[in-house]
Structure 1
Amino acid sequence: MSYFLVLSETYGGNVLSRYQRLRMEGRLCDVVLVAGGGTRFPTHRSLLASSSDYFWSLFQEHTHEFQAPTIYLPLLSDVGLSHILDFIYSSWLSMSPSTLEDVLEAACYLQVTSAIQLCSSYIADNLSPDNCCFFANIAARYDMADALSAANSFIAQRMGEFLKPGGGDWEGLLELNADSLRVVLRAEEMPGVQELALLSLLLDWLDHHKLSSLRSNLLLSNIRFALVPPEELTLLCTSRPALQTPFIKSLVLKALEYHQLGACKPLLQTTHSTLRTQACKVLLVGGGPEADRPEREVLTFDPHLRKFHSLTLLPCRVQHHCVCTLGNFLFVLGGEVVEVDESEKVIGRVVTGQVWRYDPRFQHWEVLAPMSERRAWFSCCMVNRVIHVIGGRSGRGEEEVVLDTVEAYDMQADCWRRAMDLPQPIHGQACATHGGTIYISGGIHGNHHESSREVYSLEPCGSQWEKRAPMSIARYSHQMAVVRDRIYTFLGIYEPFCDIECYNPVQDEWTRLRPLLNDRFCYGLTLLPPPHDEQVLLIGGRKWRDAQEVSTPNVLAYDTESDSWREVCKLPKPLSGTQCTLMHIPDLTET
């Protein structure tokens, strides 16, 4: 014997509709609910017990209220009870910021779970700068975890807007509950926030709430004091009592000591000196639309949004330099300093050994100890948090000397120390590190005029440079990138072809890969930020067109897994000679 089980999609709605009609007509109502304001609501005992855990327990046979004609609910407002009864009878819940708390109070008291979930969704879906603090307080009061999490995240993401003069609900922030404020202060991502403004907000909040020293310390410990300028931090510490407890004074003292660290700051980073941003961006340092006419502007590139922003200006116009990052500081090393007159005409070029460091925490450039030798057309790499500079050219014209020296930067002492010399003088080579081993490829050796195919490596504790399998193509002024367990070598200057190749350090062999369709040199190169770090970005550069060099305006991406190229976007203007690296940069213009 077979049978079919069929569901009616309209039956439940029809039953509620009939109940609502009976309620409106006052028919078959067997219990009256009386709210705190005195309003009487005739209702049906059976529907209440079916919709509310509170009434289900209240109307058991052994209770006094089982047959009671009237139930008094003095803790509930007339508005809240009215809205919840409308929901019970229709499944529709009317909500607004002005009635939300009354509705939630009734829903929680009567244990109408579905109504509580709708209130939670309403909060999460209707957050705005004007109501987020109010909603966070309500969500905390009624223990709505999802709504509270959404409100806290909203506040953290828009804190930069709130902290601007006239930019947000300042009174709402001062009324924010302590738990939400603690969660917000722990946020790793706060676009547009200056830590000094965040500290000022917290100090005003503490003045408003008068917490115990223990609870005040718990909140203040989430401030990243090393991101506050030392002058303002010292002033606040002497004038605000909340910063004068022994525990907080110890944190302030550590921050002030951090500001005095000088050259070794990148080695001693902690949470208190880490920017509140997770966004890793590409930095384009130097270069310009024309060859041998670099500009000072440093750009940031967001590969996800495909947007460029100006970050800062270099201390001088420089080309054929190197860049690297450590501890989220940018290092700009050596190169040719290009001098121009008021009409932008080049009046001189000088090879330099100068080293500059940029701190995005305070948008500040510092001059570090110069390299022992002036270098351009050299390469640099980071090994065990030590910067190495390799080879290059020193001087120009008749004074030009090709270098075989290698230097390592001692950040603790702010000085450069001689490292293992190269087998021969080299300039225009590429450099990469894999497993702590330094690899250099190509370049021009000594006083020769032809590019080289040779590859050398230096082990972490090696006593000399070892020769490796040569590239299949001689290259000069090219670049290398490490992706997982392979080293990729890209285009160089003066090449009549566009091939790239891949090196396996374990097998010591090279493999030719898919070429780029057009030639390219003097470009910027970097990996995409995680999680797409299997792709390599090639930014700008120059190419040959009608027997002339022209700068290019596009950004290309090479996917190492599929061995394929694609165009990502266009640059704001043609750019060649830029050097690229990755760094976490706060966007102080973004809210």
Structure 2
Amino acid sequence: MQRRTVLLLGAALAVSPAVEAHAHPDHPAAPGGTTPVEQGTYRKRWRQLAPIASGPRQEHGVAAVGDKVYVIGGIVPQGSGGITTTGRVDVYDTRHDTWSDAAPLPVAMNHPNVAVVHGRIHVLGGLSGGSAWQALPDSFVYSPRAGRWRRLPSVPAAIVRGSAAIGVHGTRIFLAGGMRVLVPGAGGLQDTVDTVSAYDVVTGRWESLPRLPQARDHAGGAVVGGTFYVLGGRDRGQVNVRDTVHALDLRGRRWSERAPMPTARGGIAAAAVGTRIYTFGGEGRHDGSNPNTVFDETEAYDTERDRWRRLAPMPVPRHGTAAVAVRGTIHIPGGGVLGGGAPVDVNDSYRPAPW
């Protein structure tokens, strides 16, 4: 597969005084609001969709309820340059290719931990702040039918974090890894954790599970069958990206390592369709030579055969986005096209082919 990367070299730091944090330390934000997007070629099961109506978005969460995709929180550009955290929720109708608004998150956050159980959207903490992004314990559940958010008990202090890998099995939401603090600037702290926990939406109880073999944030996550997979990601910085795939047997509660990803990367989007997990984009060079690389890779993992396959690349390479499947089609709204905070309004989809 031909690789097309987007490189940001020698750019000047452009941040508003009010909000000094970026999606990733040492990376400049796009000046002047909107980041230019180089239009890619949509082919081989990729489709260009209506762009996010409210504008660019990055480091958000996504959720699918019925035929609609919800884009939750994240970061958005400021008119004076730089970025800020938002609580905005946009809704994409996959049948009509249109956008609408939903009630905003009661607390603005980026890198939210988002999952859907029984048709309700759960947000279990995330990150927010100014000069440093700190983990938030605030949790909420959204009913699309009622159109409003309801506050849940806060995430316990010992396990609060954002940017966790997420999976759902039955009535439980699983969170693996994530980060508690993200401080911008050279050598800024990125507090990656190996914590693994589960939240039962019926009982409202949290449970601690065996820790990840290695700490991770900005990783992909999915439950297929009775196994929770954590794919790629990074450990304390975007140059420290990983290709490892860790799998937790939810019955035996033991971690094992599976076939590695073809391309090590963090900030990826992941979604499961059937027994396969599809991963999109990301950033970070594995050897540390250039942390500003943004990947166009689309790679799929066959959980039954423990085997990876390279697929048609993303028309618009992005990181800091999220993916969700609706009726077998994977939707990927928003993300960053340059290293760091460079949100765009791109919205596209990928339709997996039978293997």
| TM-score, with length taken from structure 2 | 0.70
Which residue, 339, 343, 348 being the options, matches 1:551?
343
CA distance in 2, matches of 1:425, 1:521: 20
Pairing of 1:188-587 with structure 2 (within 5 A): 280-290=67-77, 292-338=83-129, 346=130, 349-372=133-156, 373-397=159-183, 401-445=191-235, 449-494=239-284, 495-528=293-326, 530=327, 533=328, 535-544=329-338, 550-561=342-353
1:284 aligns to what SS in structure 2? strand
CA distance in 2, matches of 1:456, 1:562: 25
CA contact 2:132–2:182 (8 Å) conserved in 1: no
Opposite residue 489 of structure 1, the aligned amino acid is T
CA distance in 2, matches of 1:447, 1:555: 27
CA distance in 2, matches of 1:316, 1:548: 23
Opposite residue 523 of structure 1, the aligned amino acid is T
CA contact 2:174–2:198 (8 Å) conserved in 1: yes
Cα displacement (A) at 1:378: 1.4
CA distance in 1, matches of 2:340, 2:254: 42
Cα displacement (A) at 1:549: 5.8
CA distance in 2, matches of 1:523, 1:449: 18
Cα displacement (A) at 1:446: 6.0
Opposite residue 275 of structure 2, the aligned amino acid is D
Cα displacement (A) at 1:288: 4.3
Cα displacement (A) at 1:283: 0.9
CA contact 1:377–1:477 (8 Å) conserved in 2: no
**C-alpha RMSD over aligned residues:** 2.5
CA contact 2:192–2:215 (8 Å) conserved in 1: yes
CA contact 2:337–2:344 (8 Å) conserved in 1: yes
Change (3 A) 1:337 1:508: same
Opposite residue 200 of structure 2, the aligned amino acid is D
For each residue in 1:211-236, what CA deviation from the matched residue of structure 2 results, as whole angstroms up to 9, or x when unmatched? Answer: xxxxxxxxxxxxxxxxxxxxxxxxxx
CA distance in 2, matches of 1:377, 1:279: 25
For each residue in 1:345-373, what CA deviation from the matched residue of structure 2 results, as whole angstroms up to 9, or x when unmatched? Answer: x5764311221112234333222222232
CA contact 1:369–1:415 (8 Å) conserved in 2: no
CA contact 2:282–2:320 (8 Å) conserved in 1: yes
1:426 aligns to what SS in structure 2? coil
CA distance in 2, matches of 1:543, 1:296: 21
| Unmatched segments (≥5 aa) in structure 2 | 1-64, 285-292
Point out the structure with the larger strand share.
2
Cα displacement (A) at 1:292: 4.5
For each residue in 1:16-43, what CA deviation from the matched residue of structure 2 results, as whole angstroms up to 9, or x when unmatched? Answer: xxxxxxxxxxxxxxxxxxxxxxxxxxxx
Change (3 A) 1:467 1:303: same
1:431 aligns to what SS in structure 2? strand
Cα displacement (A) at 1:525: 1.4
CA contact 2:103–2:147 (8 Å) conserved in 1: yes
CA contact 2:122–2:141 (8 Å) conserved in 1: yes
Report the count of equivalent residues: 273
Cα displacement (A) at 1:380: 1.6
Change (3 A) 1:445 1:553: closer
CA contact 1:316–1:337 (8 Å) conserved in 2: no
Opposite residue 375 of structure 1, the aligned amino acid is R
CA distance in 2, matches of 1:368, 1:427: 24
Opposite residue 409 of structure 1, the aligned amino acid is Y
Change (3 A) 1:480 1:347: closer
Opposite residue 285 of structure 1, the aligned amino acid is I
For each residue in 1:191-225, what CA deviation from the matched residue of structure 2 results, as whole angstroms up to 9, or x when unmatched? Answer: xxxxxxxxxxxxxxxxxxxxxxxxxxxxxxxxxxx
For each residue in 1:141-186, what CA deviation from the matched residue of structure 2 results, as whole angstroms up to 9, or x when unmatched? Answer: xxxxxxxxxxxxxxxxxxxxxxxxxxxxxxxxxxxxxxxxxxxxxx
Opposite residue 557 of structure 1, the aligned amino acid is S
| TM-score, with length taken from structure 1 | 0.43
2:287 alignment partner in structure 1: none
CA contact 1:502–1:513 (8 Å) conserved in 2: yes
Identity of aligned residues (%): 26
CA distance in 2, matches of 1:400, 1:452: 15
For each residue in 1:463-484, what CA deviation from the matched residue of structure 2 results, as whole angstroms up to 9, or x when unmatched? Answer: 3210001011001010211112
Pairing of 1:173-184 with structure 2 (within 5 A): none
Change (3 A) 1:324 1:496: closer
Cα displacement (A) at 1:439: 0.7
| Unmatched segments (≥5 aa) in structure 1 | 1-277, 339-345, 564-591
Cα displacement (A) at 1:396: 4.0
Cα displacement (A) at 1:499: 1.5
Structure ranking higher on relative contact order (CA contacts 8 Å, 6+ apart): 2
Change (3 A) 1:328 1:350: same
Larger radius of gyration: 1
